[in-house]
Amino acid sequence: MLSVLSNPALLLAAEGEGGGVEFPPINLIVKWPAAFGDGQWYAFNKIALISMIGMLVPVILFWLAGRKASLVPKGIQNVMETSIDFVEDQIVLPAIGPDGMRYLPMLVSMFFFIWIGNLFEVIPTSHMPANARMANPLLLALTAWVMFIGVGLKHHKLGYLKEALFPPGVPKALYLLVTPIEFLSTFLIRPFSLAVRLFANMLAGHILLVTFSVLTITLMVLGPLVIVGGLSFAMLVAFTGFEFMVAFLQAFIFSLLTAVYIGGALHPAH
């Protein structure tokens, strides 16, 4: 319903007879029937399939890269080592530092899982990013939340909570105000904001592409408006390219913020 409100075209469609263009309801564009286990906890639908592909693709790529790894990398090994370098140089080292290398497997997994899940937005015949549903963003955000709190408690025991809730250098009287804010922002809002940022971006992109797709088809069918339909198609192509970039960007931002939170828990004084 919120996504409907975020898009004027869908609002127009909600007008009913007045608009003429029939946009699909939100249920139709994000909710998928189960292939098996319908109504059960193991219900397997399109999102579950994309999640499994999001796991299998990196597994296959990294397996192929590491199978005959040589000192002089070439082909797939070169590509996958470059991706490791990217996560290491752009995420782990700037956000955590050299002692963050132990979190590299988690962050590489997170980055690829989100990215491939997002790419299904622009893959023909799929056109559905897994992260336009709240399940995966919530799962990953909770994982990040457990990780950074766990890292903080493991390395600083209860001193982590003290550092997080009572930041040093703040006048004691202000703790009445600062401590509840820090508690809310660090322990409650962080995971929620992580999940919502990813989910909302991908859902908005998905609705945008659906909107322009429906608009293009409808305008093409209506003869006199075929020129406007061409413009709508051009916008659809442009937004598809944009979503291609967003898919990568959101995976990067999510992984980077997770690393920043872990780095903050590892070095709370900074």
Partner 1 sequence: MLAAVLVRLAEEDPTAINPVVPDEIGEIFWGAVAFFSLWILMRYWLLPPLMRIREQRRAKEIADLEAAEEARTAAVQVRRDYDATLAEARQRAAAVLEEARSAAEAERQAAVSAAETEAAARRQEAMAELEAARARAIAGMGDDVADLATTAASKVVEAPIDASAHRSTVDTYVEGNR
Binding site for partner 1 (CB under 8 A): 1-5, 11, 14, 16, 25-27, 30-31, 34, 37, 40-45, 47-48, 51-52, 54-55, 58-59, 62-63, 65-67, 69-71, 73, 77, 80-81, 84, 104-106, 108-110, 112-113, 130, 132-136, 138-140, 143, 196, 199, 203
| Closest CB 46 distance from partner 1, rounded Å | 9
| Comparison of 145 and 199: residue with beta carbon closer to partner 1 | 199
The residue among 67 and 172 lying less far from partner 1, judged by its C-beta, is 67
Minimum distance from residue 38 beta carbon to partner 1 (Å): 9
Cβ 252 to partner 1, closest distance in Å?
A: 17
Of 196 and 260, the one with the shorter C-beta distance to partner 1 is: 196
Least Å distance, CB 223 to partner 1, is 30
* Torsion, CA 189, CA 193, CA 199, CA 203, rounded to 10: 110
Residues 6+ apart with CB under 8 A from 196: 137
Closest to partner 1 by CB, 14 vs 189, is 14
The residue among 98 and 224 lying less far from partner 1, judged by its C-beta, is 98
Q: Which residues contact 112 (CB under 8 A, 6 or more apart)?
A: 54, 57, 58, 83, 251
Rounded CA-CA distance 188/208 in Å is 30
Handedness of CA 41, 44, 46, 49 (dihedral sign): positive
**Helix, coil or strand: residue 235:** helix
| Minimum gap (Å) between residue 70 Cβ and partner 1 | 7
C-beta closer to partner 1: residue 219 or 257 = 257
Residue 104: CB minimum distance to partner 1, A: 7
In terms of CB distance, is 52 or 238 closer to partner 1? 52
CA nearest to 47, candidates 30, 59, 60: 30
Contact residues for 197 (Cβ-Cβ < 8 A; gap 6+): 250, 253, 254
Backbone region of residue 67 per phi and psi (left: phi > 0; alpha: psi in -120 to 50; beta: other values): alpha
Q: To the nearest whole angstrom, how small is the minimum distance from the Cβ of residue 261 to partner 1?
A: 17
Cβ contact 1:26 at 8 Å: yes
> 173 is written with which tokens?
């009287």
